[in-house]
């Protein structure tokens, strides 16, 4: 899996890649949700957050490889 981690790091280290990650964070992790969110919407939001965190972790691993 180390090769794919390097590819994620390379892809998201460009100015465009960084902009895309900022956008993904803004519409998921940094999004403020109301207390009246439905169970289904909460699960959808949590899944999106998990995916963005997964991508961020792959980028970190790829950047830490020699």
Note the pLDDT of residue 2.
81
Residue 1 scores a pLDDT above 80: no
Per residue in 7-50, pLDDT (tens digit) is 999 999 999 999 999 999 999 999 999 999 999 999 999 999 99
Terminal C-alpha separation, the chain = 15
Alpha carbon distances (Å) from 20 to 17, 25, 61, 62: 5, 9, 19, 17
Whole-model pTM?
0.88
pLDDT category of residue 66 using cuts at 50, 70 and 90: low
Alpha carbon 57 to chain centroid, angstroms: 8
pLDDT for residue 39: 95
Q: Please report, for the chain, the start and end positions of each structural domain, with discontinuous segments joined by +.
A: 2-64
């Amino acid at each position: 899996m180390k090769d794919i981690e390097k590819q994620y790091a390379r892809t998201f280290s460009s100015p465009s890649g960084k902009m895309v990650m900022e956008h993904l964070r803004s519409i998921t992790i940094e999004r403020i949700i109301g207390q009246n969110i439905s169970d289904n919407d909460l699960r959808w939001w949590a899944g999106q957050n998990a995916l963005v965190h997964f991508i961020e972790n792959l980028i970190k691993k790829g950047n830490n490889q020699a």
